[in-house]
Structure 1
Amino acid sequence: MMKKITALSVLALLCLNFCVNAQENKAVDVIKRGLQIGQMVPEVKLTNLYNYKSTTANLSDFKGRLVILDFWATWCQPCVAMIPQMDSLQKVFGNKIQFISTTYQTANEVIPFLKKFEKQQGRHFSIPVLTDQKELNALFPHVYLPHYVWIDGEGKVIAITDHKEINAKSIQEALLRQTSSFQKKADMQVAYDPRLPLVASSDLGAVNKIYYQSLLTGFIDGLHSGYNTRYTIKSDLPRKVTFTNISIETLFSVAMGEQIRYFRRNQMIVELKDTLAFGRVPKSLTYKEWRKTNAFCYELIVPNNLRLDVFKIMTEDLRRVFSQYIVGFEKRKVKCLVLTKTADFGKIDISKLVPVSPDDNKLKKFANVTFTKFIYHCNSFYMQHSKLPVIDGTGYLGKVNIELTGFENVNKINLELAKYGLAFVEKEAEIDMLVFRDNPLYVANKTPSKDEK
């Protein structure tokens, strides 16, 4: 999640890891700032090891094997999807290779997640996992996950790739020192200050004087896929929303949700002849290839008197520019996870309300929030992988304090919600579905493309 004033990142198929400032507003390859192919890796002490014979080791302990460092995170879906494949390859090649999964996340975050994933998959994964890692991240800087560094038996970097090279053929070639055909990964990053307008020229002296601006561009190399909303403190300053390199689908869903409701794909109906622009990436394209021609950047800056209408204005902009689509809400009866009051609902303590902070959210504490806001957080982040829409069925409009230790699965959540007299119940409910259709009145040659100047 991007840090607030108020901010929320929307992660795409490839996951953003961390930002490194570029210079001169030009996109640069962050990977080039670390060790390069052909260089020797210095000795590194590996601590906080899980799934290994000890909790510590030296990188040199694996000398003689092909070592593949897997940089990942639990929230990165492509990373998690690679775990079974890496485990199978480890078993096939045995002591000839060694995968080591490394993450900046803590053991308290990672180990319960892995245990749950093993239970879901019905198998144990034996790859060593390195948590709380900083030194390897410093040696091999990167932006997008998953990220793989290949080190030969002598300790030399022989390849830096994404997940596409993680297969038996590539490993066999690496063992034979034949990695010239590997596609080298490049993580482009550009200097970007979210406090400033997305496109601004300091030479004009007007950067901090913009009163109103609505901007839509195509893909901008070096920016991650996500969005943030900025609430200003002073009444004479504008409110700003910025979206970078994301799909039309996400633009509409956030705008029409107005940060009150969050529409994931489990609450969308896409009835289009061509779904490419809506993030349905075919197997013939990589995500990076797709976003170059299908991702957009949008920014809206409004004066204080329009701050309550910012998402309505955004929706109008989108409907005006993307008039080839009809987008709207329709009531549909679908299976949902409904937050429901139980007989012990009165146990909720609303007498001591304290301001919520970003750190509270990370600790899964919800203070002084409505159930509407709680459900918004569940849909947008904590329960974002739910196959069913998560909705509020309590009918309670007041503010509450809720503290949970985790969102591993519905049963675990309900065990903790029970102390508040609450539970998520799976049942059918009539809810708003966000529907996308082709506009039969749209005339293509009268609507400019995003590449037109």
Structure 2
Amino acid sequence: MKKIIAYIILWSVAAVGYAQHKQVDLSKQLGVGEAMPRLDPQQVLFYKQNKIMLSDYEDKVVILDFFDTYCVSCIASLPKLQKLQDEMGDQLQIVMVTWQDRETIEKFWSSNKFVLEHKIHLPVIYSDSLLRKYFPHRTIPHVAWLYMDTVKAVTHADFVKSSLIDELIENGHVELPFKNDYGKLSQENNLGNNGKMGSVSLQDFQDGMPTSSFKYEQDSITGMYKTSFYNMPILGSYTSLFAKVEKPTFILRPERIVWKVKDSTLYDYFGKDGQSQVWLSEHGICYERYDTKSRELAKQAKVVVDDLNSLLGIKVYWSTQKMNALVIEGAFKEPANPPRHGQSIEGTGVLAFMLDFSGKYPPVIDAVQSSTFFVLPDYQDRKQLDKILSTYGLKLVEKETEVKVLVVEEED
């Protein structure tokens, strides 16, 4: 999608104040271009010494990767980081940083099969409370880039790759989206003292703004009703809105999306893990709307859908399409000897949702519409599942039928 999107509609006249966000203590936060303070040696594991001085590496690119052992994506990225460190050698120093204590990290590193298999031996600063003050964050991985004792970037982990590190070394700087988990106030849609009563704005990816899905709330300063989302994929924006209009009853799998567009990769990410944030920085969108009157949540979501359709020049809507599906049929009945152990299922709709989520079957349709609770024992394959469901008067039938689909259509 072209880098348009600064489109603002304003109407009526009235004085309003500037919406303010909840303040957090960011007094020590370092921005891009600011010098790193000279810090005391930090306690570290898996290093030639038990303490590390970051200032000793001013002639190298230093990557501070904030993580913890509960973060699946953090651990999954360790082999990539280790390979990068091995390949770049003296040009680079990757340092992992965690709030967790020494005992926790040592136990994890000595027992986790993934870490052992990939021979991860990157230095780990543990029990950290200082570095987090300079690079505050709510989500991990969170990465700070240092070079010549200066902050050069703060990013998602997806951006850590050799080509960008080479660029930093060669040019002394690198332009990357700033990861700021605490957000910022919109600069383009400033309702401070400009006498505007309401607004709608749609913009492309905003550097320094954390990803946030659909929100609808009354602003405590202006008294106006603000609808917003920030740095979202276009498809994700629509699905978030439609979920407010009607509670989802199925997984929106790829089979249920009909693309009538020239390039679907502009609307959603289809690449490999570890690059979604790079894609988002190129194709994400931000939306804000201020209204003087409130609406029911579902009605407001419909208003936003109309705004997006108009401003993006597309139509996104529900339809049906014939395709191969797995249909739950029959009439629910209580078995003579119901199973006592297994997963409690709240009706056939939840069963359909669960089977859909597994990804093992074609799209699943609930034709029974029973809300009766039942127990589903563990099963190994479709044959066992069919046998269990038959005791409840249910059966799974694979056939071609009409399936609800989401259509994304570009206007001519």
Query: What is the TM-score of this pair, normalised by structure 2?
Result: 0.55
Is 1:250 the counterpart of 2:236? The answer is yes
Does residue 433 of the first structure (1) align with residue 412 of the second (2)?
no
Query: CA 1:180–1:148 in structure 2 vs 1: closer, same or farther (change >3 Å)?
Result: farther
Which consecutive residues of structure 2, in runs of 5 or more, have no partner in the other structure? 1-20, 375-379, 382-395
2:317 alignment partner in structure 1: 327
- Equivalent position amino acid for 1:318 in 2: L
Query: Is 1:397 the equivalent of 2:371?
Result: yes
Distance 1:161 1:265, change over 3 A: farther
After superposition, the Cα gap between the structure-2 partners of 1:130 and 1:42, relative to the gap in structure 1 and judged at 3 Å, is closer
1:290 has 2:282 as partner: yes
CA contact (8 A) 1:37 1:159 kept: no
> Contact 1:228–1:243 (CA<8 Å) still a contact in 2?
yes
Counterpart CA distance in 2 for 1:182 and 1:335 is 53
Q: Give the 5 Å matches for 1:8-87.
A: 32-33=30-31, 36-37=34-35, 39-46=37-44, 52=46, 57-60=50-53, 68-72=63-67, 82-87=77-82
> Is residue 179–residue 210 contact of structure 2 (8 Å, CA) maintained in 1?
no
Q: Does the Cα contact within 8 Å between 2:314 and 2:408 map onto a contact in 1?
A: no
Q: Which residue matches 1:226? A: 212
Give the CA deviation at 1:200.
Answer: 6.2
Alignment partner for residue 174 of structure 2, among 183, 208, 230?
Answer: 183
Please state if 1:139 is matched with 2:130: no
Distance 1:82 1:264, change over 3 A: farther
Deviations 1:26-66 (A, max 9, x none): xx9x96359944653332235xx6xx489x95334996796
**Counterpart selection for 1:126 from 120, 130, 139:** 120
| Residues 90-129 of structure 1 mapped to structure 2, 5 A cutoff | 90-92=85-87, 98-103=93-98, 118=114, 123-128=117-122
2:231–2:286 contact (8 Å) kept in structure 1: yes
Q: Amino acid of the residue matched to residue 260 of structure 2? A: E
Cα separation, 2, equivalents of 1:86 and 1:75: 15
Distance 1:20 1:34 in 2: 23
CA distance in 1 between counterparts of 2:120 and 2:200 reads 49
Report how far residue 254 of structure 1 moved.
2.0
Instruction: Pick which of 93-102 and 369-378 moved more.
Output: 369-378
The 3-state SS of whatever aligns with 2:38 is coil
When residues 427 and 165 of structure 1 are mapped into structure 2, their CA distance, relative to the original with a 3 A threshold, is farther
> AA paired with 1:274?
D
Q: 2:257 aligns with which of 268, 272, 281?
A: 268
From the superposition, tell whether residues 57 and 230 of structure 1 become closer, same or farther in structure 2 (CA, over 3 Å).
Answer: farther
Task: Tell me if structure 1 keeps the 8 A contact 2:55–2:149.
Answer: no
| 2:4 corresponding residue in structure 1 | none
CA distance in 2 between partners of 1:96 and 1:75 (Å): 28
User: SS at the partner of 1:218?
Assistant: strand
Q: Which residue of 2 aligns with 1:357?
A: none
Q: Which amino acid aligns with 1:45?
A: Q
Q: Deviations over 1:225-266 (max 9, x none)?
A: 22243478xxxx987642123233222222223361286564
Alpha-carbon spacing, 1:311–1:149, altered in 2? closer, same or farther (3 Å)? closer
Task: Give the partner amino acid of 2:282.
Answer: W
Task: Provide the TM-score with structure 1 as the length reference.
Answer: 0.51
Is the CA contact 2:30–2:151 (under 8 Å) kept in the aligned structure 1?
Answer: no
Pairwise CA distance, 1:148: 3.9
* Alpha-carbon distance in 1 for matches of 2:290, 2:359: 31
Give the match's secondary structure for 2:94.
strand
Query: 2: distance between equivalents of 1:227 and 1:438?
Result: 23
| Deviation of 1:126 (Å) | 0.8
Distance of aligned partners of 1:392 and 1:87 in 2 relative to their CA distance in 1, 3 Å threshold = farther
Give the alignment of 1:339-418 within 5 angstroms. Answer: 397=371
Percent identity over the alignment is 13
